[in-house]
Amino acid sequence: MSEILVEERKIVVPGEVLASGLDYVPGENCYREEHQIFSKLLGIVNVSGRVIKVIPLSGPYLPKVGDKIIGRIMDITFSGWRVDTNTAYSAMLNVKDATTRFIKKEEDLSKILAIDDYVIVGIVNVTSQRLIDVSMREPGLKKIQGGRIIEINSQKVPRVIGKKASMITLIKEKTGCEITVGQNGLIWVLGTPEGEVRAERAIKMIEEKSHLSGLTEKIESFLGGNQ
Amino acid sequence: MVYRERLDGRKNNELRPMEAKTKVIPNAQGSASFKIGRTWALAAVYGPREIYPKFLADPKKGILRCHYSMMPFSGSGERIRPGSSRRAQEIAMVMTKALEPVVDLSQYPNSVVDVFVELPQTDAGTRCAAITAASMALADAGIPMKDLVSAVAVGMADDKIIADLTYKEEHINEFNEESKQAVVSDIPIAMIHHTKELTLLQMDGEISKENLMKALKLGQEAIEKVHQVQIAALKEYFKEGSHGN
Amino acid sequence: MVTNVKAVKELALLDKRLDLRPFTEYRQPIQIETDLSWTAEGSAKVTIGKTVVMAGVKLSLEKPYNDTSDQGGIMINAELLPLSSSEYEPGPPGIKAVELARVTDRGIREAKAIDLKALCIVPGERAWFVTVDIISINDDGNLFDAANLATLAALKVARFPQVDPKTWAIDYKQKTAKYLPLIKEPVSVTIYKIKGKLLVDPLIEEEKSAEARLTVSIDKNSTISALQKGGEGTLTLTEVDTIIDLAIEKAKELRAVLEQVSLP
Collapsing DSSP to helix, strand or coil, C86 comes out as: coil
CATH topology identical between A68-143 and A148-223: no
For residue B214, what is the enclosing H or E element?
A: helix B209-236
Summarize the confidence of residues A86-109 as an average pLDDT.
88
**A194 Cα to chain C: minimum distance (Å):** 7
Which of B30, B104, B139 minimises the CB distance to A13?
B139
End-to-end C-alpha distance for chain C, whole angstroms? 39
Starting at the edge strand found earlier in the chain, the sheet holding C212-218 runs C197-200, C187-194, C212-218, C224-230
pLDDT for B244 equals: 60
Strands B204-205 vs B149-157: parallel, antiparallel or unpaired: unpaired
B8 located within any domain:
no
Q: C75, C129 in Cβ contact below 8 A?
A: yes
CA-angle at A20, arms to A19 and A25, nearest 5°: 65
Q: Residues B233, B235, B241, B245: is their CA dihedral positive or negative?
A: positive
% of chain C with per-residue pLDDT over 70? 100
Q: C261, C153 in Cβ contact below 8 A?
A: yes
Tens of pLDDT along C111-128? 899 999 999 999 999 999
Predicted confidence band of residue A118 (pLDDT cuts 50, 70, 90): very high
Residue A211 near chain B (CB below 8 Å): yes
pLDDT for C125 equals: 93
User: Distance between CA atoms of B173 and B183, rounded to whole angstroms?
Assistant: 7
Residue B122 near chain C (CB below 8 Å): yes
Q: A32, A59 in Cβ contact below 8 A?
A: no
Residues of A in contact with C10 (CB under 8 A): 146
Three-class DSSP labels, A31-87: EEECCEEEECCCEEEEEECCEEEEEECCCCCCCCCCCEEEEEEEEECCCEEEEECCC
Summarize the confidence of residues C169-183 as an average pLDDT.
94
Strands C73-79 vs C126-138: parallel, antiparallel or unpaired: parallel
**B20 Cα to chain A: minimum distance (Å):** 15
Distances B69 to A27, A159, B34, B121, C251 between C-alpha atoms, Å = 39, 38, 15, 11, 34
Domain A148-223: state its class.
Answer: alpha beta
End-to-end C-alpha distance for chain B, whole angstroms? 54
Largest Cα–Cα distance in chain C? 68
Q: What is the mean pLDDT of chain C?
A: 95
- The full set of domain ranges for chain A reads 3-56, 68-143, 148-223
Tens of pLDDT along A184-212? 999 999 999 999 999 999 999 999 998 88
Q: Residue B243, class by beta-carbon neighbours within 10 Å (0-12 exposed, 13-18 middle, 19+ buried)? A: exposed
Q: What is the CA radius of gyration of chain B?
A: 18
User: Distance between CA atoms of C69 and C229, rounded to whole angstroms?
Assistant: 33
Q: Peptide bond before B17: cis, by omega within 30 degrees of 0?
A: no
Collapsing DSSP to helix, strand or coil, B127 comes out as: helix
**Pseudo-torsion of CA C147, C148, C151, C153, nearest 10°?**
-110
Which of B69, B116, B121 minimises the CB distance to C39?
B121
Mutate to test the interface with B, among A5, A13, A85 (most CBs of B within 10 A): A13
pLDDT for A225 equals: 57
Mutate to test the interface with B, among C58, C61, C83, C172 (most CBs of B within 10 A): C83
B242 located within any domain:
no
B143 located within any domain:
yes
End-to-end C-alpha distance for chain A, whole angstroms? 57
Verdict on whether the full-model pTM lies above 0.80? yes
Per the DSSP assignment, residues forming a β-bridge with B192 are B149
pLDDT for B239 equals: 86
Which numeric CATH code is attached to A3-56? 2.40.50.100
For residue C243, what is the enclosing H or E element?
A: helix C237-259
Summarize the confidence of residues C210-227 as an average pLDDT.
94
Q: Is pLDDT above 50 for A227?
A: no
Tens of pLDDT along C177-207? 999 999 999 999 999 999 999 999 999 999 9
Summarize the confidence of residues A129-143 as an average pLDDT.
93
Distances B165 to B35, B131, B156, B169, C135 between C-alpha atoms, Å = 14, 16, 9, 6, 28
- The domain tally of chain B equals 1
Contact between A14 and B145 using a beta-carbon 8 Å cutoff: yes
**Quick one: which of B124, C121, B245 has its CA closest to A11?**
B245
Give A1's contacts (C-beta < 8 A, 6+ positions apart). A21
Domain containing residue B184: 18-234
Residue C14 near chain A (CB below 8 Å): yes
Predicted confidence band of residue C135 (pLDDT cuts 50, 70, 90): very high
Give A132's contacts (C-beta < 8 A, 6+ positions apart). A63, A85, A89, A90, A91, A92, A123, A125, A126
Residue C9 near chain A (CB below 8 Å): no
Three-class DSSP labels, B19-65: EEEECCCCCCCEEEEEEECCEEEEEEEEEEEECCCHHHCCCCCCEEE
Between positions 212 and 231 of B, the ones with CB within 8 A of A are 230-231
Mutate to test the interface with A, among B25, B63, B108, B112 (most CBs of A within 10 A): B108
Q: Is pLDDT above 50 for A127?
A: yes
Collapsing DSSP to helix, strand or coil, A204 comes out as: helix
User: Distance between CA atoms of A143 and A109, rounded to whole angstroms?
Assistant: 13
Give how far the C-alpha of residue C191 lies from the chain's centroid of Cα atoms, to the nearest Å.
14
User: Distance between CA atoms of C52 and C54, rounded to whole angstroms?
Assistant: 7
Tell which CATH architecture fits domain A68-143: Beta Barrel (2.40)
CA-angle at A202, arms to A199 and A203, nearest 5°: 85
% of chain A with per-residue pLDDT over 70? 98
**Quick one: which of C172, C84, A5, A109 has its CA closest to B45?**
C84
Structure ipTM: 0.95
Residue B38 near chain C (CB below 8 Å): yes
Collapsing DSSP to helix, strand or coil, C27 comes out as: coil
B60 located within any domain:
yes
Q: Is pLDDT above 90 for A86?
A: yes
Distances A147 to A46, A159, A177, C23 between C-alpha atoms, Å = 37, 22, 9, 20
Tens of pLDDT along C6-58? 999 999 999 999 999 999 999 999 999 999 999 999 999 999 999 999 999 99
Contact between C7 and A86 using a beta-carbon 8 Å cutoff: no
Structural domains for chain C: 5-259 (3.30.230.70)
Predicted confidence band of residue A213 (pLDDT cuts 50, 70, 90): confident
Question: How many beta carbons lie within 10 A of that of residue B213, not counting itself?
Answer: 11
DSSP designation for A20: E
CATH of the domain at B209: 3.30.230.70
Give how far the C-alpha of residue A48 lies from the chain's centroid of Cα atoms, to the nearest Å.
23
Contact between A149 and C14 using a beta-carbon 8 Å cutoff: no
DSSP line for B139-204: HHTT--BSS-EEEEEEEEETTEEEES--HHHHTGGGS-TGGGG--EEEEEEEEETTT--EEEE--E
Burial track B97-135 (b if 16+ CB lie within 10 A, e otherwise): ebbebbbbbeebbbbbbbbbbbbbbbbbbbbbbbbbbbb
User: Distance between CA atoms of C30 and B92, rounded to whole angstroms?
Assistant: 34
pLDDT for A5 equals: 86
List per-residue pLDDT tens for chain B, 245 residues long.
Answer: 556 778 889 999 999 999 999 999 999 999 999 999 999 999 999 999 999 899 999 999 999 999 999 999 999 899 999 988 999 999 999 999 999 999 999 999 999 999 999 999 999 999 999 999 999 999 999 999 999 999 999 999 888 899 999 998 888 877 666 777 778 899 999 999 999 999 999 999 999 999 999 999 999 999 999 999 999 999 999 887 776 66
Residue C86 near chain A (CB below 8 Å): no
